[in-house]
């Protein structure tokens, strides 16, 4: 069974540009999460989808970040315009259900560098 995949693995962009990250969850997983780790900090939750619906986007830093999951399959996270402090590793995770016993499986992450 394929795991969570993310694209691209690395992205280097200039401040003010736009970047779109993609996540393909494990097939059949309705729950999809985005997390982020900025340099020197812990991994932090950004948002949670159940199918195509946003359940919780309380961790989104500001309105420069837009996440979508059209059709309830893959998800995209767009940063527009990017700022220097957006640099970090963006992880996507998916789970079959929420709650005890349902592991969140993480993708390899997208390393974003804003220069």
Partner 1 sequence: RKEVEQDPGPFNVPEGATVAFNCTYSNSASQSFFWYRQDCRKEPKLLMSVYSSGNEDGRFTAQLNRASQYISLLIRDSKLSDSATYLCVVRGGSNYKLTFGKGTLLTVNP
By CB under 8 A, residue 12 contacts partner 1: no
> CB of 28 within 8 A of CB of 9?
no
CA dist 66 and 72 (Å) reads: 16
Stretch touching partner 1 by CB under 8 A, among 17-25, 51-59, 66-74, 78-86: 51-59
Taken in order 57, 108, 64, 114, the sign of the CA dihedral is: positive
Choose between 74 and 106: whose C-beta lies nearer to partner 1. 106
CA dist 23 and 69 (Å) reads: 9
Q: Exactly one of 35, 49, 65, 90 binds partner 1 (CB under 8 A); which one?
A: 35
Q: Which residues lie near partner 1 (CB under 8 A)?
A: 4, 31, 33, 35, 41-45, 48, 55-56, 59, 91, 93, 95, 98-100, 103-104, 106-109, 111
């Amino acid at each position: 069974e394929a795991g969570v995949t993310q694209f691209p693995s690395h992205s280097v962009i200039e401040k003010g540009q736009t970047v779109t990250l993609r996540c393909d969850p494990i097939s059949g997983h309705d729950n999809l999460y985005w997390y982020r780790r900025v340099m020197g900090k812990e991994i932090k939750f950004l948002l949670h989808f159940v199918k195509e619906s946003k359940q919780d986007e309380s961790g989104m830093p500001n309105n420069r970040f837009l996440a979508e999951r059209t059709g309830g399959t893959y998800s995209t996270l767009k940063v527009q315009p990017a700022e220097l402090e957006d640099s970090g590793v963006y992880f996507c995770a998916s789970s079959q259900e929420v709650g005890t016993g349902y592991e969140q499986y993480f993708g390899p992450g997208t390393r974003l560098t804003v220069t």
